[in-house]
Structure 1
């Protein structure tokens, strides 16, 4: 079975057991490791993988072919995207410093960028000047080096941005949680509707349970795909992003997903979706 997900610690931790043939009855996986911008594009293509990790913001374009699985993704509290500036860029001036500026983002169809657009519409008078799409790992260096004025970052950047001499301008996850009293939906696991979705859901849940029960067994695999991160940062990353919602979205998770997509569609940022189609 072909699958695509990121090399980030949360994904490799979740799928370690399945990738390594440790889940009874589960088919072997042919894995593509790729940045979220690439996996979003793979899912939108004609010959996308059977199972793929995408941004929740990309769901409206793929729901006809793919189903949202109720597990394996990234959704939680205190884990949202950050808007960063260099310490010399006047970050203490608040969101207004972004007016007319160049901002790097990881994907035009990422949840991070969707949140940024919702936030900027309220907080940046006159609007952003230019959006620059960069691979995730290039964003903080670009802000540090003055190539862009600010950057929108996700995942482990929450723990590492001070080492680049950057300043936090806004925590979009905190803003979302305060505004909606819901966790923030970041990344989703989807599978082709033609497959046995209940079986795939079960295999992913067993892989998560295995990872939690035997975290030491996945360490080498996880670290091999996160070579620029210290073991301490990798551990913090996993503890933050692999949580109760990874095992089961539940009613709170589905409410969060619906709230994000409906709000974005109301503001003309995403197409309207059939919310019944979000559940399998």
Structure 2
């Protein structure tokens, strides 16, 4: 690992952190953004600097594309599918990710369908709104469709928060929803015939690798310190939620408090501190499956 010289350690540094406005991200990163972090271990014999963290909020698909098109952000949240495509310029940080159980994307239908056969027949000829082609949700959907012989679905990208309103207006028949939409979709009068998270878990026995944090290779001198700082930020949010709550609430997409708490509980897990062997295996399998799939 490359470290700066002692003289360089005294130069103030700022880094930009790309994250989504979703409650799990704002919960995890609130303390880090507020306080910054030490450039090296507090036990180091050398004096340390505090690194200022400047947040850049964007939809996950925009974050994915910024990582893939020029590696714009030095540290950023991305979908695990995008991370598999961005390995030339980035490394995956152990902490800060979204992996878990029973937390996967949902395929929702404008109409309630009577059987799986009817569902598959509709999927072969109906428009499906997705939150981005580089999202893990899209990859899981394509793997599911491929299993059922649907190689070229009618895919259309949309901002994730626009998908449910579009279905309500009958602009499309199906939508792929992520983030907080899994808590609000019943209010739009749609059905959820496929839980792609359950599908993944039943096929693999592994947690669902949804999102992770990338560190650009020219910032790897901060890799370990940032990893520790994110874990500390998670611990601080857990112990002092009242401090983070206004920040979380201000960025949430019009969610009620109970939905925000449910969102955090679902997506911030022990895997958010460290994916462990199961999490690493899940990501490796996702990357393997992505490599064998051509997405149009």
Quick check: TM above 0.5?
A: yes
1:173 equivalenced with 2:190 (yes/no) = no
The one of 105, 113, 121 aligned to 2:130? 105
> Take 2:66 and 2:290, find their aligned partners in 1: how far apart are those partners?
23
Where do residues 138-217 of structure 1 align in structure 2 (5 Å cutoff)? 138-195=162-219, 196=221, 197-217=223-243
SS of 1:70 mapped into structure 2? strand
CA contact (8 A) 2:36 2:53 kept: no
CA contact (8 A) 2:106 2:176 kept: yes
> Take 2:99 and 2:50, find their aligned partners in 1: how far apart are those partners?
25
Q: Quote the offset at 1:49 in angstroms.
A: 1.4
Could you list the structure 1 runs, at least 4 aligned residues long, displaced by more than 6 angstroms after superposition: 89-92
Q: Quote the offset at 1:42 in angstroms.
A: 1.2
1:35 equivalenced with 2:67 (yes/no) = no
> Take 1:61 and 1:22, find their aligned partners in 2: how far apart are those partners?
29
Q: Quote the offset at 1:94 in angstroms.
A: 3.0
2:146 counterpart residue number: 121
Structure 1 unaligned spans of 5+:
271-280
Change (3 A) 1:26 1:105: farther
Q: TM-score, normalised by structure 2?
A: 0.86
> Take 1:182 and 1:247, find their aligned partners in 2: how far apart are those partners?
17
1:136 equivalenced with 2:160 (yes/no) = yes
The one of 11, 19, 22 aligned to 1:8? 22
Q: Quote the offset at 1:85 in angstroms.
A: 0.8
Q: Quote the offset at 1:184 in angstroms.
A: 0.6
Q: Quote the offset at 1:90 in angstroms.
A: 6.3
Deviations along 1:243-278, one digit per CA (max 9) or x if unpaired, are: 0000111111000000111122234459xxxxxxxx
Deviations along 1:149-184, one digit per CA (max 9) or x if unpaired, are: 100011111111000001011000000000000001
Please, which moves more after superposition, 24-33 or 230-239?
24-33
Deviations along 1:91-129, one digit per CA (max 9) or x if unpaired, are: 873333211110000010100000000001123x55554
SS of 1:155 mapped into structure 2? coil
Q: Quote the offset at 1:233 in angstroms.
A: 0.3
Change (3 A) 1:74 1:47: closer
> Take 2:161 and 2:114, find their aligned partners in 1: how far apart are those partners?
23
Structure 2 unaligned spans of 5+:
1-14, 39-48
2:46 counterpart residue number: none
2:286 counterpart residue number: 260
Q: Quote the offset at 1:37 in angstroms.
A: 0.9
> Take 2:134 and 2:94, find their aligned partners in 1: how far apart are those partners?
21
Please, which moves more after superposition, 79-88 or 12-21?
79-88
Aligned residues: 269
> Take 1:91 and 1:49, find their aligned partners in 2: how far apart are those partners?
45
Change (3 A) 1:147 1:91: farther
> Take 2:212 and 2:88, find their aligned partners in 1: how far apart are those partners?
15
Give RMSD over aligned pairs: 1.9
SS of 2:51 mapped into structure 1? coil
